[in-house]
Structure 1
Amino acid sequence: MPRKPFSLKAYLALNRDRTGAVPADFLRAERPAGRLLWAHGDSLSRLRALVSVCQRIRQQRPELSVLVTGPDTLVDPGMIRDDLPGENVPEINAFLDHWAPDHCLWASHALRPALLHLASERGCGLTLIDADDREWTTPSARWLPDLAPATLGQFDSILATDESSERRLRRMGVSPENLTLAGPLTEAAVPPDCPIRQHEEMAALLVGRPLWLAARLHPDEVDVILRAHGRASRLAHRLLLFVVPDNPADQAVIAAQVDAAGFRVCHWDAGEMPDENTQIILASGPEELGLWYRLAPLAFIGGSLVPGRQGHDPLEAAALGSAILYGPAVGRHLASYSRLAEAGAARIVKDVDTLSAAVSQLIAPDRAAAMAHAGWDIISAGAAMTDQVVDLVLDRLDRMEAT
């Protein structure tokens, strides 16, 4: 094991006897038996991306348990959540004694020297992902030398986002053998599936018709969607809209709004099929979104026109080739929408005027295809980085079990 730099030795000594032992009545979730992967992210967007990476890993290792630390947010139901311990040895030892992680995926520029060093000493593999060109921080005293280089040296592998970040890490003393150029961490999309035969039948039935989708709608958005569809239909007389409520419990309310607007409606879940005169296909809920995304080259993602709501994940639409429209209320998914919008794969709309104008412009096949291609580039970049992390973790677990 390489010798610890003086700065790290001094920091560990200062934190070894600090108060902060875990209270006797402190309760953690029970640690499952078997291997445990620990994932830490410092923001909601990074944590969501990490969770999607861990989901991919568990597809091949379903027996693997996953511990997630980071911002207080919901995680995948099959994963465990905990808070990071304080940066003192008693709390860290209690954390590591309980969870005994086999590998850690760390996605944060806020480094924790004592925690990471003690985890490494116990044989926990450490992988730093999404290492970009931002400053590295540690909670060390100002009089101590910069602890970031010594802490970065604790990682077995570091995945840099670009060449500039890679060069900076080398200047900080990171060994080239531990560095990989992998691109930025982005949330991976797991697109919803649909029966191939059903898709082929519907695609043949609707061939030649301009199509768009309003997915995961909230009842308060329906009026805007219907009015925009009416305006756009004046320019494209065969325009067909798929309306998909987010909550099946809202289907009756939304159906009443659609029927009252006077459109010719096909009630999909009642077993009806569209004909040449159908203007709207109304589904009862999001269960068959895989079909609608594959059919519609343009999709408005709902839950985004209602103030105070959080919107919905746009990546499943991008992964299935839809150009994307969305409102301003996207909350926790803002990073994904911003990335898609910057690439030209998504456009924000705010009201009937902007929505109807966007639909009229983007139902042109070449316009929607250009946006969809830009979205696919974003999805592909994220998938390549995810593949690298998945392969790295699976390889380490295989080697651990072979010894």
Structure 2
Amino acid sequence: MGQSLVLAIHLFLAGRNGSGEPPARPVRNPGRLVWFHCAADTSMTSLGHLATLLKAQARDVSVLVTTDSQSGQRAAQLPKDVICDAAPPEQGQAAARFLDHWRPDLMVLFGSSLPAVSLVEAHRRGVPVLLANALKPDTGWITRLFRRGMTRSLLGRLKGIMAQDAEAVRWYLALGRGLPPVDMTGRIEETAAPLTCSEAERSALAEVLSARPIWLAIACPEPEEDAVLAAHQGAMRFAHRLLLILAPANPARGDALAAKITAKGWAVARRSLDEDPAPETQVFLADGEAEAGLWYRLAPVCYIGGTLTGVGGCPNPFEAAALGSAIIHGPDSGAYPRAFARLKAASATRPITSPDELPEAVDALTAPDRAALLAHNAWATSSGGAEVAARVVDRILAEITPVKDGTV
């Protein structure tokens, strides 16, 4: 491949730096390792979902994540089994030490990040490199890479480019010969794998509740409990058989919540006591082990707890979307601002701005046609992101799976 003069100068200068003390790094696990490196604006939630999908299909694979701007807050959004480390600086010795330690089987760059020194060093060692979620670069990106020739020289070291859209495909192809294959996989978006549950439990409870309208308040923090109960009281005026499944953010609140509900003169059943809701039960307190996948499947409408007060964070809304539950949420999006924004843009949620609006929202969505429309839009948005994630994972697996006797 052609070597850009600007790239050669950049690598020469980088080789003269980086003789400082190497940082302490986490221990490398046995087996294969895939290194995800991403731009500072990349969604950690989407990377975490990719890592989960990848590890589900290749259990011996570890996933390492570095970013252009590493922070503990961003790392906290990743699954616990994903390794986080500081990216090596653009210095030759630092990149070499990083690769000596981690020995990745594959490097995957996401978005606009093209760390020249690490990319060139990985390529020199025979580590395949992919670029995913690639957009047509803006002027700022080209400026950071100094010149088009340097861009072409770096991209020529890749094994493949996965572009977000047709415009990006055209831009990369226009760079000329010597580039790797360019595929349009779509934009990697935040999504969530469908939560699991016991099918026997779901079937049994669905039969018990088959004739009742249901709504769910999931991960409800203590400061929002009164608002949720007030909304239920208001909605029951128009749907007297309405059942609230109330899943507190802290299951230890079960006793206090049950007392609060009973004081209203309502009938309550508790999951932690292995009680099933009876026909007269008005609140089913889901104060047992984490079973969000079960509750989303049973409730056609859900309120995402924590979004009115911001207390305790909130669940990923795509968990509800993937299982067909229409979403009500407040103004606080916790760790998932992009997810809520995407769903809102797709007319896939019922946003509210204050607790006073919750009763009306619940009442409106007890109409099955309205709830079904929101749930469909949310599911379509969620499934589109899941398809892109699956294509990217398939490409990664194709690169790290050895070929034997003409078969994979």
**Normalised TM-score (structure 2):** 0.91
Residue 43 of structure 2 aligns to a residue whose secondary structure is helix
Match of 1:199 among 192, 202, 206: 202
Residue 214 (structure 1) aligned with residue 229 (structure 2): no
| CA deviation string 1:99-131 (max 9, x = no partner) | 111112211313211211111221122111111
Other structure's SS at 2:336 match: helix
Q: Percent identical across equivalent pairs?
A: 34
Structure 1 residue 41 corresponds to structure 2 residue 38: yes
Question: Residues 146 and 248 of structure 1: is their aligned pair in 2 closer, same or farther, counting only changes over 3 Å?
Answer: farther
Name the aligned partner's letter for residue 137 of structure 1.
W
| Aligned residue number for residue 23 of structure 1 | 21
Could you tell me which of 282, 287, 291 is aligned with 2:290?
A: 287
TM-score of the superposition, structure 1-length normalised?
0.92
Please say if residues 246 and 286 of structure 1, whose CA atoms lie closer than 8 Å, have aligned partners that are also in contact.
no
How do 1:1-400 residues align onto structure 2 when only pairs under 5 Å count? Answer: 2-17=1-16, 19-23=17-21, 26-43=23-40, 46-70=43-67, 71-72=70-71, 73-74=75-76, 75-135=78-138, 137=141, 147-173=150-176, 178-285=181-288, 287-307=290-310, 309-399=312-402
Change over 3 Å in CA distance of 1:93–1:401 after alignment to 2: farther
| Deviation larger for 313-322 or 191-200 | 191-200
Aligned AA (2:263)? A
Deviations 1:246-302 (A, max 9, x none): 222232333333233332211222122222221110011452222211111111111
Comparing 7-16 with 361-370, which one deviates more in the overlay? Answer: 7-16
Q: CA deviation at 1:214?
A: 0.3
1:217/1:244 contact within 8 Å kept: yes
Could you list the per-position Cα deviations for residues 14-55 of structure 1 after superposition, in whole angstroms to 9, with x for gaps in the alignment? 2221x222415x311122222111112334752221121111
Instruction: Spell out structure 1 runs of 4+ moving beyond 6 A.
Output: 400-403
Provide the aligned C-alpha RMSD in A: 2.3
**Aligned-partner Cα distance in 2 for 1:317–1:378:** 12
CA pair 258-42 structure 1, distance change in 2 beyond 3 A:
farther
Return the offset for 1:234: 0.9
Secondary structure (helix, strand or coil) at the match of 1:287 reads coil
1:154-205 Cα deviation digits (max 9, x unpaired): 3211111111222222234476851111111123422222222322222222
Distance 1:148 1:356, change over 3 A: farther
Matched pairs, number: 399
Separation of aligned partners in 2, 1:200 and 1:140: 57
Counterparts of 1:138 and 1:83, CA distance in 2? 25
SS of structure 2 residue aligned to 1:83: coil
Distance 1:32 1:267, change over 3 A: closer
2: distance between equivalents of 1:88 and 1:315? 40
Deviations 1:225-253 (CA, angstroms, capped at 9, x unpaired): 01111111111111111000122223233
Q: Cα gap change, 1:119/1:221 in structure 2, threshold over 3 Å: closer, same or farther?
A: same
The AA in structure 2 aligned to 1:264 is A
Q: 1:200 to 1:33 in 2, by over 3 A?
A: closer
Cα distance in 1, alignment partners of residues 99 and 143 from structure 2? 20
Please tell me whether the aligned partners of residues 130 and 185 of structure 1 are also in contact (alpha carbons under 8 angstroms).
Answer: yes
- Distance 1:169-1:199 versus aligned 2 partners, 3 A rule: same
Taking structure 1 as reference, are residues 355 and 158 closer, same or farther at Cα in structure 2, changes over 3 Å only? Answer: same
User: 1:156–1:34: structure 2 CA closer, same or farther, 3 Å change rule?
Assistant: same
Q: 1:329 Cα deviation (Å)?
A: 1.9
